Structure 1
Amino acid sequence: MSKERDYYFEQYQDRKMKKWAGFYLSEHTAIIAKEKKKRPPEQKEQMSWEEIDTILAKAYQEQYSVAIQKEELDSEGNYSEDIIGCIQGHDELGIYIADQKVGYDEIRHVQLN
């Protein structure tokens, strides 16, 4: 048995740091995700009403998901998280998305998801 064992260790090639890469990567991505949640959402560019209207019309007609940044700021001066989802309906004052109503005048930025 000793000869077999010696042969195994003569042929074995240690992968050194490669074997730890998966562990490091998963921990690293978990830390990045945690830190990303702490950061407030970035301010996106103010779009013109024509740009907003064009994107909303396309999203509604073709049932695309959109991400909407509202104009409002929280008590610390940060923008809230984007409202993401498909447009469920609309009226003359705003759109219905993600089970809430967003007024047309509240929309700062919209993009297709």
Structure 2
Amino acid sequence: MTYEEKIGTERFDAMVADFFANRYFDRGMRKWQGYYLSDHTAALKKQSKSEALVYPPLPLQDQAVIRAILLQAYAEGQTVTAQLNLQTPSGQMLPPIRGKVGGLTDSDVVNIADQNMAIGSIRHIELIPFAASTHQKNTPD
């Protein structure tokens, strides 16, 4: 049995109204300031920095070129950088997506860096070359 059922709805509503009208003091934002942990402030700073970056629109590529690069990257396991033909509400280009091509579907969807996107929404794509090996084999003369 709830307290409201025990004393009646009218009396309970009057008690609640009296509490908020006469006894409760809202401290506003001061009561929330303790919840800002260092992790939160670091994440907020990182987000504001990334939003401040401006990504210029890269040249618009033909869909045949984009598909060829995607197929090559998938077949060879290479990393790509793809810029989508999408903008933020303020008119800025979205940051490029960098990662390996996880697969392509018959319905023109590609998976890059665990994100699914329509191939038609890709504006520009580039292959990231494999890092040159810095180790050389020692062979006897």
Same fold per TM (> 0.5)? yes
User: What residue in structure 1 maps to residue 82 of structure 2?
Assistant: 68
1:88 aligns with 2:111: no
Question: 1:107 — aligned with what?
Answer: 122
- CA-based RMSD: 1.7
* TM-score (norm. length: structure 1): 0.65
Aligned residue pairs: how many? 79
SS in 1 for 2:65: helix
Q: Which runs of 5 or more structure 1 residues have no equivalent in the other structure?
A: 1-34
Show structure 2 runs of 5+ residues with no match.
1-48, 129-141
Offset from partner CA, 1:21-58 (integer Å, 9 cap, x none) = xxxxxxxxxxxxxx897331111000001111111111
Structure showing greater relative contact order (alpha-carbon pairs closer than 8 Å, 6 or more residues apart): 1
Q: Which residue is 1:47 aligned to?
A: 61
Counterpart amino acid of residue 107 in structure 1: I
Asked which structure has the greater CA Rg, the reply is 2
Q: State the AA in 1 paired with 2:102.
A: Q
SS at match of 2:94: coil
Structure ranking higher in strand proportion:
1
Percent identity reads: 25
Question: Could you tell me which amino acid in structure 2 is paired with residue 98 of structure 1?
Answer: A
3-state DSSP of counterpart to 2:92: coil
Aligned twin of 1:6: none
Distance across 2 between alignment mates of 1:111 and 1:101: 17
Deviating 4+ runs (over 4 angstroms): none
